[in-house]
Amino acid sequence: MKRHRILHFFLDLLIVLLAAAVCLTIMPAGEIVRRIRYVWSGGIGTWEETAVREGIDSGVEEYYYENLPEEFHEAYREIYVHIMKDEDTGPLYSEITVDDFWKTYYAVLADHPEIFWIDTSAQIQESGLTKKVVSYKFDTTVPAESRASMRQSIESAADACIGQIPEGASDYDKIKFVYEYIIDSTEYDASGADNQNIQSVLLNRRSVCAGYAKAFQYVLNRMGLFCTYITGTIKGGGDHGWSMVRIDGQYYYVDVTWGDPVFANQMDGAASHAMNYNYLCCTEKDLFKTHTPDGSILLPPCTSDDYNYYIRNNMYYETFDYDTVYNRVMESVWAGEENIVMKFGSGDAYEQAKYELFQGGLLNDAGQYLMEINGVSQWNYRYNTDETFCLITIYW
């Protein structure tokens, strides 16, 4: 470690001297720095090669890296190597401006939820001569000596979730299981400790959107499934984070936070404590009714409804048909179900269903049946309506 610091000192000194003499050479200062670094590092000319040599490879699909301009790739990999080697402060060798540093730094953190000890902020120093970032200091939340043991605890918590998934489960079933697991085991708490990273969900069980989404991403990545972190705003204002997954080559949005009934009740005052599946593998058409991406990364089309929860579970009605809905309502009460959920394909179909159910008498026979089998003369039911998603839920 001492030898490493000495090498860095002399390398920094050489860089300063070369920068001072840049006006005397036709070679750009940045190119000189790169060549010196190449020689000094024993011929390892790129940070990608350094990562391979050091065995620093998370094995996950890096969506942000792939969609960054290619000229940022070296800086991305350098930042990632420094973080994974617990080099919380030091010189930055890749040539990158301050603005581009932040884009790249956030991209690293978005691709790698397993980096639980680094905050989203950092201190950087810019060269007055080149206007490039020359050094960094990451703001950390966990001391270096505690990271290994905490990593083991986090991995064990993630594996406890994964271990409950039935053998042979499809990718969709795995995604749905993790969605439900995180919602069931986590309480939405804006005051929760470390709520911007995976500790808050997998260890503390109290978090906010960033913790929910990153824990979801981390567990899926650990199973070899693609999942990335998306940021933006929500209807009515406020920053928010959610997820994007891929199944059979098609992309879908997932918002675990908004699937949590505790969070949903805080947002809309609903009486229901049922899990919300509107945000499990949904399309951009549905999600963008309430969410707006911030444009920080290029997003693929999310237009397939192949894995829409309501379609897959026979809860979807493209149009309103009185007999179809009546028969389904009666089947629900005869089967002793706790509730019935119906999603409609258009606002018109939804409004017609709402009228017939709650004003037109469609529920009369269901209510009569429930009174008879329970030996009462009156039956009260509760219901929720969601015009954004054309969803009606009735609790018997």
> pLDDT tens, position by position, for the chain (396 residues)?
434 444 444 445 454 444 444 433 444 454 455 444 444 444 446 888 888 888 888 789 999 999 999 999 999 999 999 999 999 999 999 999 999 999 999 999 999 999 999 988 999 999 999 999 999 999 999 999 999 999 999 999 999 999 999 999 999 999 999 999 999 999 998 888 888 899 999 999 999 999 999 999 999 999 999 999 999 999 887 999 999 999 999 999 999 999 988 765 555 444 456 789 999 999 999 999 999 999 999 999 999 999 999 999 999 999 999 999 999 999 999 999 999 999 999 999 999 999 999 999 999 999 999 999 999 999 888 998 999 999 999 999
Distance from chain centroid for Cα 121: 19
The pTM (predicted TM-score) of the whole model is 0.85
As a whole number of angstroms, the distance between CA 251 and CA 240 comes to 19
CA 90, 93, 99: angle at the middle one, nearest 5? 90
Amino acid 135: pLDDT: 97
CA 219, 223, 224: angle at the middle one, nearest 5? 115
Q: Which CATH architecture has domain 147-311?
A: Roll (3.10)
* Calculated CA dihedral for residues 276, 279, 281, 286, nearest 10 degrees: 130
Amino acid 14: pLDDT: 52
Comparing CA positions, the residue from 347, 177, 199 lying closest to residue 254 is: 177
Residue holding tokens 């119906």? 342
Q: Return the structure tokens found at 380.
A: 């009260």
The contacts of residue 382 (CB under 8 Å, 6+ apart) are 271, 272, 394, 395
How many angstroms separate the Cα of 307 from the Cα of each of 152, 174, 207, 252, 280? 33, 12, 27, 8, 8
Instruction: Based on DSSP, count helices (H) and strands (E) in the chain, helices before strands.
Output: 17, 13
Looking only at the bridges linking them, the beta strands covering 291-293 and 227-234 are antiparallel
Contact assessment for residue 230 and residue 244, using Cβ atoms and an 8 Å cutoff: yes
Contact assessment for residue 315 and residue 341, using Cβ atoms and an 8 Å cutoff: yes
Contact assessment for residue 186 and residue 206, using Cβ atoms and an 8 Å cutoff: yes
Q: Return the structure tokens found at 265.
A: 């009740």
